[in-house]
Structure formats: structure tokens, C-alpha cells
Amino acid sequence: MASKLKSAEITDQEKQELSSKVFPALKNRKKHPLVRFFRLSASAVMLLLCVACATVDAPRKAVPDTSAPSDDQQNLISMTIKNGITKPDEPALFELEMPESDVSLASIYKYSKEPTVLTVSQDAIDMDYENGRLVILKKDKIESNYTKCPEIYVEGDFTGIQLSGDSVLLTGKKEALIADIGRCGTIKKFPAEGKGFYLGSAGLLEFTPRHYVFSDKFKATIYHEGDFMGYVVYGAVGSTHLLFATDSGKLALLNMRDGKFSAISSEAYRIKAIQYSADNIFVYTVDNKLIQLQPETGTGVLKKVGQMQGKDGCFFLKRSGKMFCDGYITDVDTAKKSPAQADSGLYSESMLFLKKEGVLSFVDLQEVYRQNVMLGSPALNQVCVKEGKGYFLDLDLKIKYFTAAGTEGVPEEKPASCDHVFMLKEGAVKSSDGKIIYQFAKPVNRSARAVMLKRIIGQDIYYYFEKQ
């Protein structure tokens, strides 16, 4: 639910003052006691998290337009993959063919709606997914679903993996590595101690608490770089902006084209985790609040547009504002029960991956029919009549009864004796003149050997066979 928030608009005069006072000082890399000169307003946030283009050995290069597929194209590819993975078992198709074996004719076939959980990999450390491509980080290699590059062996102690196009970034405490699944090999390894990294479609962001460099994915061309006035603890790459956050809880968006700020947060947050997804900013606070921020047009303010209360143990799913909270997949508006537990995960382009103790699973929360077979069906054709009720063993293995009016119920206990015993014939109890008294199941197919009968209990569909 969206929360109302007062936002202080930055005037043109304030912006001009900031530009004239802040940016020249940063460009010359001189320490500047700016905090003394400004009130704690929306404009003062600029002082706590300030980046400017610093002079570099190489001239600044224009950030090229990325050729990443559109969201619609990516979703189409992912949905095609998803539909193939989650193809349901169709009860209607099962009805069309009569089994012939004695084992099949003596079994019960149950179709239940279930979410899909499929194990993808073992011993996974981290994973990423984009545009139909899945990459998995293991101890000594990168695994991929790209048929031309199923694996790339690497040396080093890496704990994180990021994918953008063909480029793959591995990160660890001491070193980072860039690989290319298109070329199926490693490209470059470089020191990572004390640094943060973020790989996006527009380029690679490398930052320390006091400095950042934004370059192409292979660190060959620097687009721009600058120094921080605040102490930066988080950085990310969006489609058109870089996102930074300080240890004081301030956030700001930097236009990657001109290296200037376009929006800043009007308040500080006690940040536990941040996610920058589809140009939406999601902040999870130490008091377990999930907050969604968006830049407000014309004000230069990051405005709060949504909020949800979480709990201890919640964590973000990579590439999204969704979280895994106590067995539920949640966001600022919804919560859905997860069929699998997780200690990390990813949600991208409608694809959900959950990892628990190294076991990586693909999960689809949408329920589809799955077939289960119960070998050797119990005696289902007897009806015990007692005091006007017909008692029977149902296909879900529960004792039930029906009345003369056709209603069904579950008794507290099964009667010890029967006044009469009737036999079900083709799923029904019939009178001596052939009139149906009670319809337990309906015939849907038959052969010379047996009749296929169908019964629906709740959302479950059962099939069993009555030999001729």
C-alpha cells in the first residue's frame, strides 16, 4: 500500500548553488567542509552523498545505448521456457486412452493441482538469470544453460555471480573476475578487496566508500568516475541511472549519461538491504520494513510509494523487489506461500529460483495438475447401508456416507454393522429397475476389459477402473 510522504522540492536556485559549490570542489578532489553551510533539507542530502566527475587519465566516453532485449522480449523468452518446464499433466488427455495392463487397471490415478518444484543443480553457491539464460556459480566453475557454453572453469574464492548479456561477473572478498559465455572463457581478473561491484546492461560499476568508476563491462573504457563526500556502502546500475546509498541511510540516483544527480531521498533509512530493480528502489530496514521508492517527476526527490511490514530473517530475491519471508514470497502488495524453503533466491522475468543449502530449484507458484498413481486400489465398490445412510470408502481413503437426497458427509465413526450391502456398478448405486439412486463416479471411457470411472473430490480428480 502506498504511503503518503511530504517531499521538499529542490529549487533551481538551490541546484545552481550546489553545482557551483559542490562539483568544482569535488573535481579538484579537495576536502570541503560543506555540511556546515547547509540545513538538513532535501538539498542537504546532496552533501551526504555527493559524486562528481573527477579528472581521469583517459577522456570521458559516452555511455553507449545498450542492445539488451526489451522487457516484452525477455518475458516472452522466459515464458516459453517456463511453459516447457511446467507443462501440466492433462486429465482430459488421460481419459482418451484406456490402459490394458492388470497393474494399471488395479490402480487409482489422482490429478492434483500443485506448484512446480524442480531441482536444477546441487552445490550451488549463487545464481543469476537474464533473458532465458541461467548461470550458476560453483566452487570451481560457472555452469550455464547456454548450449554452446555449458561450463567455464575458474580459479579463485568467489561468492557472487552477476549476468548481463554474455558477460558474467564473479565477486569474492579478494578478487573479481569477468567471463564471457558467448566466447566461453574468462576475460579479466582484478583485485576486489574493499570494493563493491555491480554489472548492468549499460556497464560495470566499481566503487569504494569514497570513489566510483563506471566503465564498459570489460573495464576497457571508463565512461566517468568521481569521489564521494559521504561514506558509500551500496551501488547499483539501472537502465539510465546509478544508485548509491551511504552508511547514514541516504540514497541518490546519478544520471549515467552526464554524471549528475537527478534524485535523492528526503529522509534517511536504517538500511539492512537494498534492491534496485526495473528502476524501482526497494529498501529493507533494520526494523523489518520493506519500502519502495521512485523518483518524483520535477522535484528531484526519491518518493516513498509503497511499504510492507516484514520480520526477522527476510531477504531479497535477486533482480526484484520480492522477498522470501518465513516461507512466503512477498512484496509491498502480496504474499504467496512458497512450496520450498530457501536461504537465497532470484526472481526475474516471472522465473523464480530458490536455493537451500546448495540445492538450487526452479519454482513456479502457479498450480497445475500433476498425476500421482496409487498402485492397488482398495475395495471401492461396497456400500454399507445403516439407518438410511450409505457408508463407503472414498478414493481419498476416507470413510464417508451419502443420504437418499444425494448429499455426502463424513461420519464420526464407521458403523459396526450394516443393514444392507449394495455394490457399485459403473460408479453408481442403482435400484432393481435400473434407476440411479446415488452417482459415486461417472464412466468416461471403456474397453472390452474395463470401464474407466472419474470422480472429483474438491479440486482433485480421480480415475479408477471397474473390470467388465
pLDDT digits (tens, 9 = 90+) for 107-157: 999 999 999 999 999 999 999 999 889 999 999 999 999 989 999 999 999
- Measured CA to CA, the distance from residue 40 to residue 35 in angstroms comes to 9
User: 391 and 294 in one domain?
Assistant: no
Centre a 10 Å sphere on the Cβ of residue 123 and count the other Cβ atoms it contains.
12
User: 76 and 215 in one domain?
Assistant: yes
Average pLDDT over residues 76-82: 64
Question: Which of 65-74, 111-120, 191-200, 315-324 is least confident?
Answer: 65-74
User: 401 and 301 in one domain?
Assistant: no
User: 200 and 77 in one domain?
Assistant: yes
* Edge-to-edge strands, sheet with 271-277: 232-237, 241-246, 251-255, 260-265, 301-309, 289-296, 280-285, 271-277
How many domains does one find in the chain? Answer: 2
| Percent of the chain topping pLDDT 90 | 64
pLDDT interval class at 264 (50, 70, 90): very high
Average pLDDT over residues 356-368: 93
Average pLDDT over residues 11-24: 38
Q: Is the pLDDT of residue 44 over 60?
A: no
pLDDT, position 319: 94
- What is the distance in angstroms between the CA of the first residue and the CA of the last residue of the chain? 61
pLDDT in tens, 302-323: 999 999 998 999 999 999 999 9
Between residues 1 and 343, the one the model is more confident about: 343
pLDDT interval class at 411 (50, 70, 90): very high
pLDDT interval class at 279 (50, 70, 90): confident
Residue ending a domain, choose from 288, 305, 322: 305
User: 383 and 260 in one domain?
Assistant: no
User: 210 and 298 in one domain?
Assistant: yes
Average pLDDT over residues 317-340: 93
Tell me the pTM: 0.74
CA 23 to chain centre: 40
Average pLDDT over residues 325-341: 92
Q: Per the domain annotation, does 321 fall within a domain? A: no
Q: Per the domain annotation, does 171 fall within a domain? A: no
pLDDT, position 80: 67
Q: Per the domain annotation, does 39 fall within a domain? A: yes
Q: Per the domain annotation, does 184 fall within a domain? A: no
pLDDT in tens, 285-303: 999 999 999 999 888 999 9
pLDDT interval class at 437 (50, 70, 90): confident
pLDDT, position 49: 31
Q: Per the domain annotation, does 431 fall within a domain? A: yes
Q: Per the domain annotation, does 226 fall within a domain? A: yes
Q: Which of 55-69, 264-278, 371-385 has the highest mean pLDDT?
A: 264-278
CA 188 to chain centre: 30
Between residues 15 and 128, the one the model is more confident about: 128
User: 292 and 210 in one domain?
Assistant: yes
User: 392 and 297 in one domain?
Assistant: no
pLDDT, position 378: 62
pLDDT, position 63: 62
Which set of grid coordinates corresponds to residue 451? 470401464
Q: Per the domain annotation, does 221 fall within a domain? A: yes
User: 199 and 68 in one domain?
Assistant: yes
Identify the CATH number of the domain in which residue 28 sits.
2.40.128.630
pLDDT in tens, 364-379: 988 999 999 988 766 6
DSSP class per residue in 47-80? HHS-EEEPP-SSPP-PPPPP-PPPHHHHHHHHHH
Q: If you count them, how many residues does the chain have?
A: 468
Domain extent at residue 17? 1-85+194-305
pLDDT, position 62: 62
Q: Is the pLDDT of residue 442 over 80?
A: yes
Centre a 10 Å sphere on the Cβ of residue 6 and count the other Cβ atoms it contains.
8
- Measured CA to CA, the distance from residue 398 to residue 462 in angstroms comes to 14
Query: Which residues touch 412 (CB under 8 Å, ≥6 apart)?
Result: none
Average pLDDT over residues 5-28: 36
**Mean pLDDT of the residues in the chain:** 83
Residue ending a domain, choose from 249, 281, 305: 305
Q: Per the domain annotation, does 60 fall within a domain? A: yes
CA 201 to chain centre: 20
Matching residue, cell 512466503: 328
pLDDT interval class at 19 (50, 70, 90): very low
Residue ending a domain, choose from 305, 337, 354: 305
Sign of the alpha-carbon torsion through 236, 345, 128, 72 = negative
Centre a 10 Å sphere on the Cβ of residue 307 and count the other Cβ atoms it contains.
16
Which set of grid coordinates corresponds to residue 281? 528502489
User: 218 and 78 in one domain?
Assistant: yes
User: 299 and 202 in one domain?
Assistant: yes
User: 383 and 264 in one domain?
Assistant: no
